[in-house]
Structure 1
Amino acid sequence: MVQQTKTGWAPLHRIVLLWRPQWPLMAAGLVVALAAGLAGLAVMSGAGTHLAGLVVASEGHAPSHDIAALAVLLATPALMRLTGLARIVLRYAERLVTHSATFRALAGLRVWLFAGIARSAAGGLGFLRSGDLLSRLVGDVDVLDGLYLRLVVPAGVALLSFVVLVATLVAIPGVPAALVAAIALLFVAAAVVGPVLAARAGLHAGPVLNETVAALRVAVLDVIVGLREIRVFGAEGRMRAMAQSRESALFAAQAGLSARLAAAGLAAFLCGQAILLCLLAAAVGWAPFAVPPLAAIAMVFVAIAAFEPVSGLPRAGVMAGQMASAAGRVIEAASLPEAAPDPAVPVSLPPGHALSFDQVGFTWAADRPAVFDGLSLDIPAGRRVAILGPSGSGKSSLAALALRLAEPQSGQVRLGGVPVSALAAADLRSRFAWLGQTTHLFSDTIAANLRLQRAEADEAELWTALEQAGIAEVVRGLPDGLDTWLGEAGAGLSGGQQRRIALARVLLSRAPVLILDEPCAGLDIDTERAFLETLNTVADDRTVVLITHRLLGVERLDRIWRLVGGRATAAAG
């Protein structure tokens, strides 16, 4: 189960600050929403005034010579049509502006979150699980769309409606202060007290819901990714039971939140009905609230319009707890410590690219055993070396240290005689091209996959790289050549062909150092041998570091190092 993220209201403040570039557009949306709210109040006020005027006229209470009353009675329908049209236009404009601001804010938030994940996750350990990461990047960010649309904008319109309602009640002659106070208190209870209490309850329920959603996504993604192994080992029942257990937990959390939403909605509804009862009591002449019936009619219409934006605020208060939890999870994922931060003042890249490790001590975490203990080895520029070792000996950690995806706790890694810790990571990595055992091919064209290494590479350079990798003839035989669309993870190609496409992508780089980390993992022996023979014919002018657990005897190497007990031992000259 995913560990629950502890949070409060502070993350929401941080999210609002991150949305600073969209503040002008959000402010414009709020202004349009306020204008639409005023137009709605004007329509309902006009309707009430006109209805009261019609009642007076039909009962003969208004003197026939009262020109002013007659003018109001005749002019009100025209004003209602005008304000009604204005309300329609303004509500449409409100939707355009507020949703545009929200979509832009969420897009910026996703970019910020992805950048934070990419910066902090490069070290190789301490990653969030894929399902949980997906939940934060998609689900939690989506939850935050309600922060502006369902909380800030309705709260602003509700505040305006409250002011207009109270001002209208005070302006009507003969309205007792007791009635104004009762309606104001009920309005505040629905618009402020209810949402605040609901938000406090939601602050406890929201994290549970977000974490259970993430846990279910983790379980489902595990099932999808490992479906072949699950079927082979007959573990369908156990995996299904695990997913169903997490699904049940999610349903329980949703039921709890739904109950709170229903209670909050009911409270707001009851407050609205209580306001109408107060006005009804005023119309029938109940002593503390008594007003003329015609004035009560106009007040009912204004109260209904004023209460419209309030009805959803208690539910938004409940959702605010979930929003706060989602904001905390997003910020947590984006703010994990960077494994190897850039120096404050990076030095320039050295002209040479000899790679050396000098008495390096390294562990991924304090509670884990040391990977290296006094590791020292030198890889001169232009040499082809192999680094051997069993699983867990630190072969991939060596590549991570060279690329500054992690920092050693002691000793130094140098490139061209300069400590890599003194170089900017982007500058350092421009000197390296890396091919790993799980190199990914994207669901895109072959050309696009190759240009991941060098976006500006022309078609001739792509074919040259494919020729060097021994895969050009296969690509030429495909219906669309370089424009052939690869399925997810390179589906449509064999394992060996996928690895050669990945090799071509590496060779397309102009980096002087190639790090090949178990490049033949998962290949059968014949495909592995052919792949290694291809490596012998390429990159003659570059440093090649082949990291592997065994040699087949077909490799062309200048030196072999073996990792044993956290140290490197020269195995061949």
Structure 2
Amino acid sequence: MSMSDRAPAEHAPSTGLDPILRVLALWRGRAPRLAAGAFLSLLALLAALVLMRGAGARVAALAFGGAVAGMGLLRVSGVARVVLRYVERLVTHDAMFRALADLRVWFFRRLAGGAAAGLGFRRAGDLLSRLVSDVEALDGLYLRIMVPLAGACLVLPFLVVAILPVDPLLAAIVGGLFAAGAFLLPLAAALMGRREAAILTHRLADLRIGVLDLVTGLREIRAFGAEGRMMSHARARDAALLRGQARQARLLALMGGASYLCGQAAMLAVLAAILGVGLGPIPAARGIGLLFLVLAGFESAGGLTRAGALAGGISRAAARVVAVGETDGPPVIAGTQPAPPGTDIRFEQVSFRWQADRAPVFDGLNLDIRQGTRVAILGPSGIGKSTLAALLLKVAAPGAGRITLGGQDLATLDSVSVRRRMAWLSQATHLFADTIRANLLLGRPEASEADLWTALDRAQMGDTVRALPDGLDAWLGEGGASLSGGQGRRIALARTLLSDAPILILDEPATGLDGETERAFLTTLYDVTAGRTVILIAHRLVGVEKLDRVWRLADGRAVAAAV
């Protein structure tokens, strides 16, 4: 098997029952609706069994000239089956849609609170795959597995009890075949398909990532003439996904065929008992009623084998969904105390590593940033500059040592109040596909129109926006596509300036700008942030910065440098 046919072993989310149980725990608020849907499903199934047995008895009575009895029960069960099935579908699907909505909200909240996601360290394609396909796959947990499995647990004793007084041996044969088709074969399919489902889930996410890269990076792809290479990569991922889907389809066909044969064998056993061949003989009239009942029973459990084959994918999807909010590094303590008015920042012997098997990012880091000062933290890529921002914003926590804000330990402070004291402008600040107004209001929803124009003027974008036909209501496009890089960065700066946070964290704020635009942007930035604590995180200085202190990160520590 080629490497493309293997599921990745590293960083793979755990599988098994634990992710499933965690998803079910997240759905506990919807338990009454889910339980109501399952109960209605059982009632509809019971009505179907009574209907089929009654219909078989009526056919037998007409065929053999007997009296047609139980017509009232037949009518009631027929109407009940239709009504209950309709109501059950409404309730179960409504409950499932609500449960999936809850799961998406939980997913986003965990994502927003996670260190890796909070600073943009995750791949968008993988997140999209988890939020869309993996969450949607989990509807099968309730609709395809739990509800049909509950139905099978009802059908098995119903069949055995119905057949036992007629022929105990026939009851044992039919019960055994039903158990094989409804329980053993789905279990075997789940075990056989577990590894393939993991590969398939990975390949689907891999294809989404590749396609998203292809679309978002189209300008660079065309500039370097790499269309053919990138398309071949996408086709290779698509082909790998199709191979996995073909193998899963073969497994589904094999197990579905085996389940179908169990149902046919049970019907043959009933026919044999009617004819007295090896079993019975049993009265033909009763035998035909049992034949209809067996047919309905096995039909109700026919989807369980397919569900078993898909169970591995559902378990894998659950693992990927619940793993997305798990943060690397030590857990972040939310804290309960409000942030103090003072803004002095101290790093005292701080040590931190993202994973236990990786080298430490910081090892005994000491920093002292006084209120109202402007400092720069310099260093090459990967040295820990963005990790510093993550620690300050409480999306990561030190493994040792402590960070204080206004003399109080950051771990004891409420995370929301801490972030209100800090405004963050990053190298990859995102502009939403919305109006300029909506993008600015993200920084302060209650801001007036005058506040918006003031922020734009301070960022030297006011005249540009006034010149637009729609002004503040001009549409920016995805990622601010209607603006140049410098204009987009100034809109992001205006959004940051709307915040009255006394601490401003600038994480490579001018990345991607040409030299002249970068210097003009930084000049504006320093002119409009007077009186605030400014922490500039960069790999180099351009000469226009107005700084009080400069540190260089090296070997997990900060070394003072000349201003």
Same fold (TM over 0.5): yes
Change over 3 Å in CA distance of 1:8–1:394 after alignment to 2: closer
Aligned residue for 1:510? 500
Aligned residue for 2:225? 234
What SS does structure 2 have at the residue aligned with 1:453?
coil
Contact 1:123 1:406 in 2 (8 A): no
Give deviations 1:104-145, integer Å, cap 9, x for gaps: 222222222333333333488995543333322322222211
State the shift of 1:552 in Å: 4.7
Residue number among 468, 472, 491 corresponding to 1:478 in the alignment: 468
Change over 3 Å in CA distance of 1:549–1:271 after alignment to 2: closer
Q: Do residues 315 (structure 1) and 323 (structure 2) align?
A: no
Aligned residue for 1:546? 536
Residue number among 459, 473, 491 corresponding to 1:501 in the alignment: 491
Q: Do residues 152 (structure 1) and 146 (structure 2) align?
A: yes
Contact 1:8 1:203 in 2 (8 A): no
Which moves more between the two structures, 396-405 or 277-286? 396-405
Residues 151-190 of structure 1: pairs in structure 2 closer than 5 A = 151-170=145-164, 175-190=166-181
Query: With structure 1 as the length reference, what TM-score do the two structures score?
Result: 0.88
Aligned residue for 2:81? 87
Give the gaps of 5 or more residues in structure 2: none
Aligned residue for 1:65? none
Query: With structure 2 as the length reference, what TM-score do the two structures score?
Result: 0.89
What SS does structure 2 have at the residue aligned with 1:289?
coil
What SS does structure 1 have at the residue aligned with 2:517?
helix
- What residue identity is the alignment partner of 1:159? C
State the shift of 1:246 in Å: 2.8
What SS does structure 1 have at the residue aligned with 2:559?
strand
Q: Do residues 15 (structure 1) and 23 (structure 2) align?
A: yes
Instruction: State how far apart, in whole Å, the 1-side matches of 2:22 and 2:377 are.
Output: 46
Residues 40-189 of structure 1: pairs in structure 2 closer than 5 A = 40-57=48-65, 69=67, 72=69, 76=71, 79-122=73-116, 127-170=121-164, 175-189=166-180
What SS does structure 2 have at the residue aligned with 1:312?
helix
Residue number among 232, 239, 245 corresponding to 1:248 in the alignment: 239
Instruction: State how far apart, in whole Å, the 1-side matches of 2:101 and 2:297 are.
Output: 34
Change over 3 Å in CA distance of 1:282–1:551 after alignment to 2: closer
Residues 158-557 of structure 1: pairs in structure 2 closer than 5 A = 158-170=152-164, 175-337=166-328, 339=330, 341-342=332-333, 346-358=336-348, 360=350, 376-392=366-382, 394-408=384-398, 412-555=402-545, 557=546
Change over 3 Å in CA distance of 1:276–1:529 after alignment to 2: same
Instruction: State how far apart, in whole Å, the 2-side matches of 1:373 and 1:153 are.
Output: 53
Which moves more between the two structures, 488-497 or 247-256? 247-256
Contact 1:350 1:416 in 2 (8 A): yes
Which moves more between the two structures, 365-374 or 334-343? 365-374
Give the gaps of 5 or more residues in structure 1: 63-68
Instruction: State how far apart, in whole Å, the 2-side matches of 1:188 and 1:361 are.
Output: 57
Instruction: State how far apart, in whole Å, the 1-side matches of 2:286 and 2:353 are.
Output: 79
Instruction: State how far apart, in whole Å, the 1-side matches of 2:102 and 2:436 are.
Output: 30
Among the aligned pairs, what percent are the same residue?
Answer: 51
Contact 2:377 2:553 in 1 (8 A): no
State the shift of 1:406 in Å: 3.7
State the shift of 1:571 in Å: 2.1
- What residue identity is the alignment partner of 2:314? M
State the shift of 1:334 in Å: 2.9
What SS does structure 2 have at the residue aligned with 1:350?
coil
- What residue identity is the alignment partner of 2:437? A
Structure having the higher Rg: 1
Instruction: State how far apart, in whole Å, the 2-side matches of 1:413 and 1:152 are.
Output: 48
Contact 1:34 1:160 in 2 (8 A): yes
Give deviations 1:3-56, integer Å, cap 9, x for gaps: 354522332233222221111111100111111112212222222222222223
Give deviations 1:227-261, integer Å, cap 9, x for gaps: 33333333334433333333332222222211111
Instruction: State how far apart, in whole Å, the 1-side matches of 2:61 and 2:117 are.
Output: 76
Instruction: State how far apart, in whole Å, the 2-side matches of 1:55 and 1:339 are.
Output: 76
Change over 3 Å in CA distance of 1:412–1:168 after alignment to 2: closer
Q: Do residues 559 (structure 1) and 548 (structure 2) align?
A: yes
Give deviations 1:502-522, integer Å, cap 9, x for gaps: 111111111111122222222
Change over 3 Å in CA distance of 1:47–1:321 after alignment to 2: same
- What residue identity is the alignment partner of 2:60? A
What SS does structure 1 have at the residue aligned with 2:63?
helix
State the shift of 1:93 in Å: 0.9
Q: How many residues align?
A: 553
Contact 2:332 2:396 in 1 (8 A): no
State the shift of 1:490 in Å: 0.9
Change over 3 Å in CA distance of 1:273–1:498 after alignment to 2: same
Contact 1:373 1:567 in 2 (8 A): no
Which moves more between the two structures, 396-405 or 322-331? 396-405
Instruction: State how far apart, in whole Å, the 1-side matches of 2:13 and 2:331 are.
Output: 25
Aligned residue for 1:66? none
Instruction: State how far apart, in whole Å, the 2-side matches of 1:509 and 1:274 are.
Output: 73
Contact 2:378 2:553 in 1 (8 A): no
Contact 1:132 1:215 in 2 (8 A): yes
Instruction: State how far apart, in whole Å, the 2-side matches of 1:107 and 1:419 are.
Output: 37
Contact 1:120 1:339 in 2 (8 A): no
Instruction: State how far apart, in whole Å, the 1-side matches of 2:319 and 2:282 are.
Output: 51
Contact 1:388 1:560 in 2 (8 A): no
Change over 3 Å in CA distance of 1:532–1:46 after alignment to 2: same
Instruction: State how far apart, in whole Å, the 1-side matches of 2:298 and 2:232 are.
Output: 47
- What residue identity is the alignment partner of 1:152? M
- What residue identity is the alignment partner of 2:86? Y
Which moves more between the two structures, 18-27 or 350-359? 350-359
What SS does structure 2 have at the residue aligned with 1:496?
helix
